[in-house]
Chain A
Amino acid sequence: MAEPLISIRDLTVALPPGADRAHAVDGVSLTINPNEILCIVGESGSGKSLTGHAVMGLLPRGVTASGGQILFEGADLLRLPLSGIRKLRGRDIAMIFQDPMAALNPVVTIGRQITEQIRAHRAISEKKEALDLAGGLLAEMGLADPKSLLKCFPHQLSGGQRQRVMIAMALSLSPRLLIADEPTTALDVTTQAQILKLIKRIQTERAMSVLFITHDFGVVADMADRVAVMRHGRVVEEGAATEVLGNPKHSYTRALIAAVPRGVSTLQPVAQDKPLLSVTDMSKKFRRGGIFSSAAAVKAVDKVSLTLNRGETLGIVGESGSGKSTLARCVIRLLDPDEGAVLFDGADIARMKPRALRPLRRRIQMVFQDPFSSLNPRQTVGEIVIAGPRAYGEDIREARARAADILRLVGLNSETMNRFPHEFSGGQRQRIGLARALMLKPDILIADEPVSALDVTVQAQVLKLLDDVRQQMNLAMLFITHDMRVAAQVCHRVMVMRHGQVVESGPTRSVFAAPSSDYTRALLAAIPGRGRLAAV
């Protein structure tokens, strides 16, 4: 085997005093060989990202590499003075980040941001020469019209374009190592697939090394030559991608891989009788801008119809801006739809007055996306959970007794009632949010991206809980998600949305097996790791 490009030996990264643990990275040893992609995979708090930042010498303020070595061409990067490591940054080792909008300076043109890097390392006196070089790089990244792109500011580009710009910038001096820190996490799934393909292509063409940091085993399956699995600051397993994915040794690796939804549907559709809820031709427009802008209204939801039966889960799948969340909020009347009807139990609730709507409200409940903002930080869990019944005049003692039962149902003990939301983890908070909704004994549960903020193992638990609760209480569930894999796991039927319209709908199994629209096909093809992760 060739000499490794970088060897990380016994790296320890210390957190500032007062953090929840002393070390974020605790004795990590890794090597990156020339011309390979090493994926570091792990959940939040595993130390994967800080390991990448330590290589660049870009640890956040207060966080220090307290031990170990990072060897690159015989020099220890941790002991190099700032001037030394600065010469390497951008020239030999380059880095791209999770959110390309935040990673680009908002008030400087794309052209200047790229040429700045080139001119920092190479004596190019001609500004034009550097700009030509930058334009060439943008073209190589598959961006159309690079000349005018160079004059643009970051906000004028799409998310995918911005990440391509970031990659172009990173590659401008042909570095030998590219560190990619979750480079596709903030992107839509189809864009993610394109960027992954781009990184893979460039790695092969330039025969460089890539340190790819991700939380998604699907992405690992697509990208990695070798894999290192991290947990709590340590590497628990490392090896060739085929080995680790095909024959994981460590139980944590096995659990992580098992928790990745496979994007294969096994659920039988529920018999379609009289629907509990039916939406017909619903539309919702948003007006934006002031008197001077062309008052173009954006059609967030455009003539959407759907039906929902007792005991079934209908998935609404779409990328950002597809209108899926707006649709859900119109159904539950957090927003007022402009057109269309929402028939629930024989009544049209789309245009019902608040007073008339109130008795029906309790029968449609919602679980929200963000576990940190969906619970009132100033109320105890007990107060949060009984707030619904109290609003309908239920006796406080009775409500508390029921709350204990419901909390147990979602897997929390009744002692949680006296504690505040910030004392709980993301997964536990989602359980509390679910308990709050279930307290009103709803018929319909709307779940808006309920697991997208959670780690994959926690995600699997919450998905299972939602499905169990649906069965036990015979609920109808409207499940909003951007993730086809998650939809396949819990939905009987799916509806694919794009630009406010329904592209395709049908039983999950048939949509996945034989998609009828190009867009659905593209979405399915974009699922990372599809077919590469063995069924468990």
Chain B
Amino acid sequence: MRDSLRVFLSRPIPLVGLVIFAVIVALALLAPLLFARGPFTIVGMPLLPPGAPGLLVGSDVLGRDMAVGLAYGARISLLVGITSTLCAVGIGVLLGAVAGYYGGWLDDLLMRVTEFFQIIPSFVLLMVLVAFMQPSLSSTVIGIALITWPQVARVVRGEFLSLRGREFVQAARTLGMGDVRIIFTQVLPNALPPIIVVGSMMVGSAILTESALSFLGLGDPNLLSWGSMIGGSRSAMWVAWWTTVLPGLAIMITVLALNFIGDGLNDALNPRRRR
């Protein structure tokens, strides 16, 4: 593991990703201190271009400070991205591990369920879920976790299944170790790298999904997020490009940073890709 950390930190791209991500996290955490008045306060004329007095990146259709919106939007994106991934990884690891290690009917059932989720258009399902539960922060998180956990379960199940057949795990059984001890000392440490990589990539895709939901007006109506900023200024795009370009860039940079980190982790944790 220490080797992996060294490999991770020795490469420029994951490091860049890490730095950008840290900046965004800091911005999100400090937003209430930096902009105590909140994102919904109207500060001036609508659609003022970037560089207008007191407005670093301009104002939106209602005359709100875009900079404040971007900072507060980061809070929502990160919150949704991280919590929904944690939920999905938690469910996925638990079910995937049990199914992969023990096999049997539970495995059959899990495989059918994950196949089902692979085949149905999950974004449409997510729209239905959120719309029916009423759009809110928690329905967004729950919805995203519900449609993404099968991905994790699939990966974990595959890892556990293949590791279970490996000779060192069989050896552990002949040594008289119990299942719990085998799972935690033999299998999980070897299955962890792919779980970490998938998790880091999922945060990014959850952020994208959240932005799509709030773009369609399915976000929490009481919170400003990057997606709803874009959705809200669609009509203004023709005259004020910054209202849509900037929140989109914010999303892209955040997701890109996360993917850089994920790629770096993949290289660092996967000895086959270290060349």
Contact = CB atoms under 8 A, between A and B. Distances in A.
Do chains A and B interact in one complex?
yes
A366 to B, nearest CB: 5
A376 B174 contact: no
A160 B172 CA distance: 36
B52 to A, nearest CB: 56
Interface string B156-179: 000000000011101111111110
A362 B175 contact: yes
A374 B186 CA distance: 11
Contacts of A433: 171
A358 B190 contact: no
A433 B178 CA distance: 20
Contact of A362 (B170, B176, B186): B176
A270 B176 CA distance: 30
B197 to A, nearest CB: 16
A365 B174 CA distance: 6
B167 A369 contact: yes
Nearest to A332: B174
A391 B177 CA distance: 6
A338 B186 CA distance: 28
B20 to A, nearest CB: 31
A377 interface: yes
B110 to A, nearest CB: 16
Contacts of B54: none
A55 B251 CA distance: 55
Given A368-B167, A370-B167, A334 B174 contact: yes
B112 interface: no
Contacts of B190: 376-378
A358 B171 contact: no
B181 interface: yes
B185 interface: yes
A375 interface: yes
A387 B177 contact: yes
A392 interface: yes
B189 interface: yes
A329 B170 CA distance: 10
Interface in B180-209: 181, 185-186, 189-190
A379 B177 CA distance: 16
A440 interface: yes
Contact of B168 (A329, A369, A374, A392): A374
Interface residues of A, number: 29
- Is chain B's interface secondary structure helix, strand, loop, or mixed overall? helix
Contacts of B168: 373-376, 384
A361 B175 contact: yes
Nearest to B182: A391
Contacts of A391: 175-178, 181
A177 interface: no
B167 A361 contact: no
Contacts of B176: 358, 361-362, 388, 391-392, 440
Contacts of B166: 373-374
B175 A387 contact: yes
A418 to B, nearest CB: 14
Nearest to A364: B174
Interface string B29-46: 000000000000000000
A151 to B, nearest CB: 34
A334 B175 contact: no
Most chain B CB neighbours (cut-off 10 Å) among A18, A364, A373, A436: A373
A364 B181 CA distance: 20
A474 B189 CA distance: 37
Contacts of B177: 387-388, 391
B174 A387 contact: no
Contacts of A329: 170
Contacts of A373: 166-168
Interface string B204-246: 0000000000000000000000000000000000000000000
A526 B186 CA distance: 41
Interface string A377-398: 1110000100110011000000
A158 B198 CA distance: 40
A374 B167 contact: yes
Nearest to A371: B167
Contact of A378 (B173, B175, B189): B189
B170 A368 contact: yes
Contacts of A440: 175-176
Contacts of A361: 174-176
B35 to A, nearest CB: 46
Interface in A312-353: 329, 332, 334
Contacts of B167: 368-370, 373-374
B182 to A, nearest CB: 9
Contacts of B171: 366, 368, 374, 433, 436
A433 B170 CA distance: 12
B167 to A, nearest CB: 4
Contacts of A18: 275
Contacts of A368: 167, 170-171
A334 B173 CA distance: 7
A374 B181 CA distance: 17
Contacts of A379: 185
A368 B168 CA distance: 9
A387 B172 contact: yes
B210 to A, nearest CB: 35
Nearest to B172: A387
A374 B174 CA distance: 12
A370 B166 CA distance: 9
Contacts of A365: 174-175
A358 B185 CA distance: 18
Most chain A CB neighbours (cut-off 10 Å) among B170, B175, B190: B175
A374 B165 CA distance: 10
A440 B172 CA distance: 12
Interface string A462-506: 000000000000000000000000000000000000000000000
A436 B175 contact: yes
Contacts of A388: 175-177
Contacts of B186: 376
Contacts of A358: 176
B227 to A, nearest CB: 41
Contacts of B174: 332, 334, 361, 364-366, 437
B77 to A, nearest CB: 35
Contacts of B172: 376, 387
Contacts of A378: 189-190
A433 B168 CA distance: 9
Interface in B139-162: none
Contacts of A384: 168
Given A361-B174, A366-B174, A388-B176, 15 more contacts: A18-B275, A329-B170, A362-B175, A364-B174, A368-B170, A370-B167, A377-B190, A379-B185, A384-B168, A387-B177, A387-B185, A391-B175, A391-B178, A392-B176, A440-B176
Query: Top 6 A-B pairs ranked by shortest CB distance?
Result: A388-B175, A374-B167, A361-B176, A368-B167, A391-B177, A376-B168
Interface of A: 18, 329, 332, 334, 358, 361-362, 364-366, 368-370, 373-379, 384, 387-388, 391-392, 433, 436-437, 440
6 contacts: A365-B174, A374-B167, A376-B190, A387-B172, A388-B176, A391-B175
